Amino acid sequence: MANQFNYPVWNLIRLERDSEIPLYEQIFARFQTGITEGVIPRGTRLPPSRTLAKELALARNTVVQAYDRLEAEGYVRRAHGSGTFVDRVLPEDHQTRARPAPPAPPPGKTALSERATRLLAFHLPPERSETLGLSPGVPALDEFPYDIFSRIAARHWRSRAISQTGYGVGHPRAGLTHQIAAYLAEARGLACAPEQVIVIGSTLQAAALVAHVLLDAGDVVAVEDPGHLTELATFELSGVRIHPVPIDEMGLDAAALPTQADGGTLPKLVVVSPVEQFPYGSSMPSARRQALLAWAQAHGGWVLEDDFNSEIRWLGQAQPPLFATDTQERVIYTSSFNRALAPGLRLAYLVVPPGLVEAFTQAQRVFSLYAPQPDQALVAAFMAEGHLAAHLRRMRAIYRERSLLLADGLQQRIGDRFVIPYVTAGLHMTVRPRISFDDVAAATALLHRGFDCPALSRYCRGPARQGLILGFGNTLTEKLPACVEAVAEAIDAACDGA
């Protein structure tokens, strides 16, 4: 199909080669203006990237990156074997058809609370998707033990246990708390009584309970930077102040935390993920763990240990949790069954020091932060019959294979320009550039191709760090070579336009 106007499309492209604006951004902007103003009609076929690159005396990847962005933002569509065409429905069409804005509230009244307004401005990342390739933090859902759970569920409902359909006050909850306490003692070296285990729906509920019980408005919470944004939002909505602490390849360094000598306000709580931290991927060595505990003990601070990756370790000796080595009862421990089994179970738990049990259980009751009783019963039976340990042993071998295949492929394709980590635990790895790199552009291009590889810079509160976060847990082994190629192509295009 020929262009629907009487001069070549590249006549619209006027490049300022001395400008600080990348060339692919200039190409994108010229096309976007021409399309929205109708100069380039809808349905028009754009020239092949190779042809346009030749006419503009540019590298082809520069044009490809501009086309990728036009496609990602909805201005063009690609038809395999036919070319790239201006879409007949543009993003601006959706804007004009959008509902009218609601009427402004009367003077002196506010439609939303200040907390809600802050939440909307937080720019939280989208939920992870099990349907997209390389989505970080998602376990191998095809390997979930459906048959075993089906048998346990059938047996459970045949028992007609009335306690499992009530409020679950008192004894009926003991099944899962006893199993978790026994599991932590055996697998993690963490000794606790079942009464110290508080079963909830997510680790974000754990953060909310910690904020309600231990923090007041205006208190300071030290967090890892880059860090888990939804967790940070949970604390910010509680009225506390966030103090980002930059992390490195060995995780959070207690030496970077404020002290009395600094003259500032001391953090009342430090939130830390010691094993394969998300999103950076670092793990804390023993010396840093002990330094953090010493800081908490010296300054009367609390530590929230988010230990979401320790169960999935296939190499090396796992270090005991901070909770297990804390002699002054300053650590609150949290983990979940999201990665060990499936996120859809919505089952997590806290382990709190004995002196905090009453306060946390009362707060749990007031805010109704519970997990469904039947689901607790199913997982308790699954653990009691030894299935969890067997499932984890099998999954560690699968995750090890997938992580190595992904890392080896990336090392061959982009190892000269990126640091490729060989992780030993968890479900994600973060590749970081040695060169100039636009991680947002690469992540956007990958998302349009069906890959959920978030940009590391989106998780930074301080100076942005560049990188891509890649998950391997829920990506089939046979699909990983194609995933490597897609990531490499997106990185090539982003580096070319940076």
Residues 437-460, mean pLDDT to the nearest whole number = 94
In 331-358, which positions are buried (b, 16+ CB within 10 angstroms) versus exposed (e)? bbbbbbbbbbbbbebbbbbbbbbeebbe
Which H or E run includes 494? helix 480-497
Q: Which pTM was predicted? A: 0.77
Q: Is the pLDDT of residue 103 over 60?
A: no
Question: Does some domain include residue 120?
Answer: no
Number of domains the chain contains: 3
Per-residue model confidence (pLDDT) at position 17: 83
Closest CA to 352 of 283, 290, 303: 303
Residues 413-432, mean pLDDT to the nearest whole number = 97
Q: What 8-state DSSP symbol labels residue 141?
A: G
Confidence of residue 6 (pLDDT cuts 50, 70, 90): very low
Q: Is 214 in the same domain as 344?
A: yes
Question: Does some domain include residue 1?
Answer: no
Q: Is 243 in the same domain as 264?
A: yes
Domain CATH code at residue 443: 3.90.1150.10
Strand order across the beta sheet in which 418-419 lies: 418-419, 428-433, 468-471
Q: Is the pLDDT of residue 213 over 90?
A: yes
Q: Is the pLDDT of residue 95 over 70?
A: no
Rounded Cα gap, residues 230 and 407, in angstroms: 28
Number of CB atoms found within 10 A of residue 67's CB: 24
Packing angle of the helix pair 373-384, 146-158 (nearest 10 deg): 120
Rounded Cα gap, residues 100 and 471, in angstroms: 39
Q: Is the pLDDT of residue 173 over 50?
A: no
Residues 328-349, mean pLDDT to the nearest whole number = 96
Q: Is the pLDDT of residue 316 over 60?
A: yes
- Residue 253 token pair: 């360094």
Q: Is the pLDDT of residue 1 over 50?
A: no
Of the listed ranges 82-86, 189-193, 285-289, 363-367, the least confidently predicted one is 82-86
Q: Is 206 in the same domain as 314?
A: yes
CB 323 within 8 A of CB 333: yes
Question: Does some domain include residue 112?
Answer: no
Per-residue model confidence (pLDDT) at position 2: 43
Q: Is 263 in the same domain as 288?
A: yes
* Rg of the Cα atoms in the chain: 26
Rounded Cα gap, residues 211 and 299, in angstroms: 18
Closest CA to 422 of 250, 276, 226: 276
CB 364 within 8 A of CB 209: yes
Domain CATH code at residue 19: 1.10.10.10
Q: Is the pLDDT of residue 77 over 90?
A: no
Q: Is 255 in the same domain as 177?
A: yes
Share of the chain above pLDDT 70, in %: 90
Domain CATH code at residue 167: 3.40.640.10
Q: Who wins on pLDDT, 99 or 443?
A: 443
CB 329 within 8 A of CB 352: no
Q: Is the pLDDT of residue 5 over 50?
A: no
Per-residue model confidence (pLDDT) at position 106: 61
Residues 222-228, mean pLDDT to the nearest whole number = 96
Share of the chain above pLDDT 90, in %: 63
Q: What range defines the domain where residue 457 resides? A: 390-497
pLDDT, mean over the chain: 88
Rounded Cα gap, residues 455 and 458, in angstroms: 6
- Residue 287 token pair: 């010396």
> Which residues are CB-neighbours of 27 under 8 A, at least 6 positions away?
13, 15, 56, 62, 63, 66
Q: Is 169 in the same domain as 211?
A: yes
> Which residues are CB-neighbours of 87 under 8 A, at least 6 positions away?
42, 74, 75, 76, 77
Question: Does some domain include residue 462?
Answer: yes
**387-395 contacts, C-beta under 8 A, 24 or more apart:** 387/145, 387/148, 388/183, 388/340, 388/341, 389/187, 391/145, 391/340, 391/341, 392/311, 392/312, 392/340, 394/143, 395/139, 395/140, 395/143, 395/312
Q: Is the pLDDT of residue 9 over 90?
A: no
Per-residue pLDDT of 276-307, as tens digits, reads 999 999 999 999 999 999 999 999 999 999 99
What is the distance of C-alpha 220 from the center of its chain?
23
Confidence of residue 40 (pLDDT cuts 50, 70, 90): confident
